Amino acid sequence: MMEASGPDFTKSELIPVIAQDDASGDVLMLAYMNAEAYEETLRTRRVCYYSRSRKKLWRKGEESGNFQELKAIFYDCDADTLLVKVNQVGGAACHEGFRSCFFRQIDPATRTTSVVGTRVFDPQTVYKK
């Protein structure tokens, strides 16, 4: 075992976090954490991010119920990016109602986009906005 350490928040207050489904390996989303979100995630084992648009902690699933249970957490060689392996409760990680935020695929030859995912929920119903 190595000495306890972790991501280096002195380089940047916010570091990118890749969320990956622990069972399937699917990449679900990319978000950001600050030190407070990181500590809360470790303490509660439910993934907490920092919302850059709202400028506050974002407890994944607080509105939709589609939260993420932490299964494992890794940091990269530069200690400035995290990978969280999660159990995605509720079926959708994306606020647009898809399982993954990466539901649009670009064809390099034609530069056209197609939707490759299936919507799990209607965001207008869930978020009532």
Q: Which pLDDT score, from 0 to 100, does residue 4 have? A: 59
Q: What percent of the chain has pLDDT over 70?
A: 96
Q: If you search the block for the tokens 């995912």, which residue do you land on? A: 117
Query: What architecture does CATH give domain 15-122?
Result: Roll (3.10)
* Distance of alpha carbon 89 from alpha carbon 67, whole angstroms: 5
Distance separating the N- and C-terminal Cα atoms of the chain? 48
Express each pLDDT in 71-117 by its tens digit: 999 999 999 999 999 999 999 999 999 999 999 999 999 999 999 99
Q: Which pLDDT score, from 0 to 100, does residue 5 have? A: 83
DSSP annotation of 114 reads E
Contact 47, 68 (CB under 8 A): yes
What b-and-e string marks burial along 3-39, b requiring 16 or more CB atoms within 10 Å of the CB? eeeebebeeeeebebbbbbbeeeeebbebbbbbebbe
> What mean pLDDT, rounded, does the chain reach?
95
> Taking the domains of the chain in order of start, what are their residue ranges?
15-122
* Distance of alpha carbon 40 from alpha carbon 38, whole angstroms: 5
